[in-house]
Chains A and B, each alone.
Chain A
Amino acid sequence: MARGMKAELERQGLRVVMTRNDDSNPSYDDRASMANGYRDAIFISLHIATTGTVGSVRAYYDQMSAPYVPPADAASSPGKPALSVAPGLNSWNEAQRPYLNASHRLADLIQIELAQKFSGSGDTSLGAAVRELRSVAGPAVAIELSSVSGPDPDTLANAAAAPLADAIAQAITAFRAATPGGAKQ
């Protein structure tokens, strides 16, 4: 499915770099590291699940909260103070934080397209603590195709490749047009 999407995205004028091309399984950090090596890249993580409404697709953006602040009256707070990082640098585990709003916008744009192409898909993207996204220093979304199971899951997944790629391409075009000055919040 990913290869089919790559071909379709390239046909629409986008440059695509895959984080893997075979059965290798790079770690989440390796994938983030690869994405962070490109300037102005958009990170899209593709997922296939066996649950959810058959054939529906959902875009997710990462969700983090403000750094933990112990209450003033908690003398024996177990919370560790945030590690100090040199100004201008991001903590690896928080690399996505400056891009949360941009990722949310991109996920919403993708979801609008997905809702038109895949019946049963929701109208809005969802926030979730997706492990794969947290260290990506750029707009990053995860897209999950639901309930791909049964005797021939590959056919269903492959059939989804072209409309998925088309939805992503259109959303990226709209996203780039809306954020010409960069994707940071």
Chain B
Amino acid sequence: MTRNWKIFLAALVGCVVVGLISLRGLHRRVARLAKAEVTEEQARHEVLAPPVSTPTDVPVKAQMFWAGGPDGLAPVEIELPLSADAQERSRQLLQALIAEPPTPDQRTLPADVEVLGFYILPDGTAIADFSDALSNETPSGILSERLAVNSIVRTLESNVPGLRRLKILIHGQEVDTLAGNVDLTGFFDLNPSVPQPISPVAPTGPTPKSPPAAAVPKASGASPAPQKH
């Protein structure tokens, strides 16, 4: 091997070593930048929607539903200070759902969404009022809209007992769809496994011979069913 070849090989090895070292550094910087982005997002959210705190707040393990797997939701347990008051508790949960997904890939609701109001009526009907960002920034598509609604519904039903159904409003108004596909004109069942009273209401149209869709097990891909009123 000539001297020139030896110099060339030594230079090549040197380049590879330098490349590997800088690649590691680059990877760290990318990870730091990603983390900084999340922090900035959270900081902005805290300014727009300050955390709800009440005198009855107690740290509890809350079961949150964020995106998990290609098409579904997965429960994630986090510790949250939650109020004893169901209305405030629901607001706290929804704010955490928006602001605290473990990773960006698990996000189901746009980061800029605000919970403008949350009300519970005496019959267990919950009304959640979100800012326009829910409608404007959720990617249009059945998959993404379904995930957004289901993450709200399943998080509420897992942590707030006594809720029967949910109505989603955008900026105080009923809207036709979330982002073009999922129907928001009806209500979504909460806790459908709780036995409901037998309907005394006259059937509308042909009598359904099958069980209501709410009885479909969630494992088969069913999502919370909307009700018409």
Main secondary structure of the interface of B (DSSP, over half): loop
Q: Which of B144, B214, B228 has the most CB of A within 10 A?
A: B228
Q: How many angstroms from the CA of A71 to the CA of B205 in the assembled complex?
A: 23
Q: How many angstroms from the CA of A60 to the CA of B181 in the assembled complex?
A: 11
List A contacts of B202 (CB < 8 A): 82, 84
Closest Cβ of chain B to A134, distance in Å, is 6
B88-134: which have CB < 8 Å to A? 121-125
List B contacts of A79 (CB < 8 A): 123, 125, 229
List B contacts of A155 (CB < 8 A): none
Main secondary structure of the interface of A (DSSP, over half): loop
List B contacts of A52 (CB < 8 A): 70-71, 141, 143-144
Say if the beta carbon of A170 comes within 8 Å of chain B.
no
List A contacts of B125 (CB < 8 A): 78-79
Q: How many angstroms from the CA of A79 to the CA of B223 in the assembled complex?
A: 22
Residue of B nearest to A102 (CB): B210
B130-151: which have CB < 8 Å to A? 139-146, 149
A-B contacts, 16 listed (Cβ < 8 Å):
A49-B142, A51-B143, A53-B71, A56-B70, A63-B222, A65-B214, A67-B228, A68-B187, A69-B200, A69-B201, A74-B124, A77-B123, A94-B228, A98-B206, A127-B222, A144-B143
Interface of A with B (CB < 8 Å)? 47, 49-53, 56, 58, 60, 63-72, 74-85, 88-91, 93-95, 97-98, 100-101, 120, 122, 124-132, 134, 142, 144, 146, 184-185
